[in-house]
Amino acid sequence: MPPFDVPEGNPFGPHNLPYGVFSRAGSDERSVGVRLGDHVLDAGAAAHALGSPYASLLARPSLGPLLAAGRTAWSDVRRALTAWVTVPAHRETVESFLHPLSEVTLHLPFEVADYVDFYASENHSRNVGQIFRPDAADSLTPNWKHLPIGYHGRAGTVVVSGTDVVRPRGQRKAPTDPAPVFGPSVRLDIEAEVGFVVGVPSQMGEPVPLSAFRDHVFGLCLLNDWSARDIQAWEYVPLGPFLGKSFATSVSAWITPLDALEEARVAPPERTHPLLAYLDDAQEERAGYDLHISVAINGRTVSEPPFSTMYWTAAQQLAHMTVNGACLRTGDLYGSGTVSGPTERERGSLLELTWNGRDPLELPDGKRTFLEDGDVVTLTAWAPGPGGTRVGLGEVAGRVVPSP
């Protein structure tokens, strides 16, 4: 039987142990689960059976209490879990609380408090600038290298991987249209991103410095920031994206703790402009993460965005988000912004991959500029783990269904 028999090289081995929330067939009861290979461990039940002091954090229907418990608890719980799934004496007990992934339903693992989305890939931002402002002297806005640009999104429409996404309807108006028209979006897009999950809150009026990033952020997930480019283009001046983004944001069911990603830490790209003190990460060690993302449409990989190329780090984004005194809450989620590398096959949106529809993608079932009804988009990723292993990030998948 599985647990200790997870094959060598499985990206969800005992070196990973991401957290999620699951229910079993025929039951509404939600439980914190930890992924091990193709199984999920009922962490709370195992903790109770093993007499663990962490049962009160784990025997819950949400990751919320664990998120709020703080960095020392996060490490302690991870150490305990590692022992449970590796020490032979626990084998029989642990196996009795393992369920095949195919037999459980995965849920949104925590209640999203505030959701913020950033715009932190220089390649992505330059591509978008060139597409939409071809005559501008610089494809980046003047503020881009001085602060991580971000905005608030809709927390109530963050959904877990596997949730269908209804094609949004709304207003659009091409420059040549005499008036706006209403209907289903005809330029439905994705944005391949990484989401960061805040565990420990902060006080209003007290900024969170770069150095406190890991005291507040528990882990990360994959995130697809679905975008209706036609709705967005008509609405976004002067106050930013609204309905072009707010219809759905998909996240992976598994939250990978930062503690599982120590080997994946890398230096961010060289800073080309001097930074104000609260963002200056010259003294921060390896503040980037070397995550290798894949974007697939209907099973065909169309892009492999490299997260290590992101100009702004998650720690800088957290420091910026709070420097004005805004507080954090348990369950705050922030997206990195679309991840795009320097080459064509590394772009994280169809907007860029097809250069605004000019260069369609060739898929086995035909050409794509933007998404068609029935398309399934899947993001997956891995990171370097200890001893040459790979740490798998849980996938985020979603199918486009027609407007009603």
Q: Which spans of this chain sit near a second copy (rule: CB under 8 A)?
A: 113-114, 116, 119, 141-143, 146-147, 149-157, 159, 166, 168-171, 173, 179-180, 182, 204-207, 228, 231, 234-244, 246-248, 274, 276-278, 320-321, 323-329, 332, 403-404
Closest to a second copy by CB, 4 vs 151, is 151
The set of residues, in sequence order, having a beta carbon less than 8 Å from that of 37 and lying 6+ positions away, is: 2, 3, 6, 7, 10, 12, 13
Question: Pick from 34, 23, 31: which is nearest to 255 by CA?
Answer: 34
Closest to a second copy by CB, 80 vs 323, is 323
> Could you tell me the smallest distance in angstroms from the CB atom of residue 339 to a second copy?
17
Question: Distance between CA 254 and CA 227 in Å, rounded?
Answer: 23
Closest to a second copy by CB, 338 vs 380, is 338
Q: In sequence order, what are the beta bridge partners of 100?
A: 39
Q: Identify whether 39 is a catalytic site residue.
A: no
Closest to a second copy by CB, 227 vs 256, is 227
Closest to a second copy by CB, 278 vs 355, is 278
In the numeric block, the tokens 């988000």 are attached to 321
Annotated catalytic residue: which of 124, 273, 292, 320?
124
The set of residues, in sequence order, having a beta carbon less than 8 Å from that of 310 and lying 6+ positions away, is: 120, 121, 268, 269, 288, 336, 337, 339
How many helices (H) and strands (E) in the chain? 10, 26
Q: Is 138 helix (H, G, I), strand (E, B) or coil?
A: coil
> Could you tell me the smallest distance in angstroms from the CB atom of residue 39 to a second copy?
30
> Could you tell me the smallest distance in angstroms from the CB atom of residue 58 to a second copy?
25
With contact defined as beta carbons under 8 Å apart, do 35 and 404 qualify?
no
Closest to a second copy by CB, 142 vs 364, is 142
Strand order in the sheet with 39-42: 98-100, 39-42, 31-36, 19-24, 104-107
> Could you tell me the smallest distance in angstroms from the CB atom of residue 217 to a second copy?
16
Q: Is 133 helix (H, G, I), strand (E, B) or coil?
A: coil
The structure tokens listed for 358 are 């000019």
DSSP code for 271: P
> Could you tell me the smallest distance in angstroms from the CB atom of residue 341 to a second copy?
22
> Could you tell me the smallest distance in angstroms from the CB atom of residue 255 to a second copy?
20
Q: Which residues are catalytic?
A: 124
